Amino acid sequence: MKFVDWFPYYQGIRAEFGYSTEKDQEAANMLSGMIKRKALDAKVLQKKLAGKDVFVIGAGPSLDEKIALIKKNKSFVKIAADGTVQALLENKIRPDIVVTDLDGSPAALQKAEKMGAIMVVHAHGDNTEALKKMVPKFKKVVGTTQVMPVQNVYNFGGFTDGDRCVFLAEEFGAKSIVLVGMDFGNVIGRYSKEEVKDPELKKRKMQSGKHLLEMLAKHSRSKLYDTAKKPIKGFEPF
Over 60: is that where the pLDDT of 194 sits? no
Residue 43 pLDDT level (bands cut at 50, 70, 90): very high
Q: Quote the pLDDT of residue 9.
A: 96
Can you tell me the mean pLDDT for 14-43? 96
Q: Which of 122, 85, 80 is nearest to 106 (CA)?
A: 85
Q: Quote the pLDDT of residue 200.
A: 87
Give dist(CA 155, CA 167) in Å, integer.
10
**Which amino acid does the sequence have at 40?**
L
Give dist(CA 145, CA 124) in Å, integer.
7
Would you report the helix, strand and coil content of the chain in percent, each value rounded to 5? 45, 15, 40
Give dist(CA 170, CA 127) in Å, integer.
25
Q: What is the pTM of this model?
A: 0.95
User: Do residues 51 and 73 touch, judged by C-beta distance below 8 A?
Assistant: no
Can you tell me the mean pLDDT for 91-101? 97
Q: Which of 56, 59, 122 is nearest to 86 (CA)?
A: 59
Give dist(CA 168, CA 160) in Å, integer.
12
Based on the structure, what is the number of domains in the chain? 1
Give dist(CA 238, CA 66) in Å, integer.
12
Beta strands of the chain (E only): which ranges? 53-57, 77-81, 97-100, 118-123, 142-145, 153-154, 176-180, 223-226, 236-237
Residue 115 pLDDT level (bands cut at 50, 70, 90): very high
**Which amino acid does the sequence have at 184?**
F
Sign of the four-CA dihedral 229, 234, 237, 238: negative
Q: Which of 101, 84, 99, 6 is nearest to 48 (CA)?
A: 99
**Which residues form the domain of 137?**
3-237
φ/ψ (deg, to 5) at 179: -80, 130
CATH code assigned at 184: 3.90.1480
**Which amino acid does the sequence have at 163?**
D
Residue 134 pLDDT level (bands cut at 50, 70, 90): very high
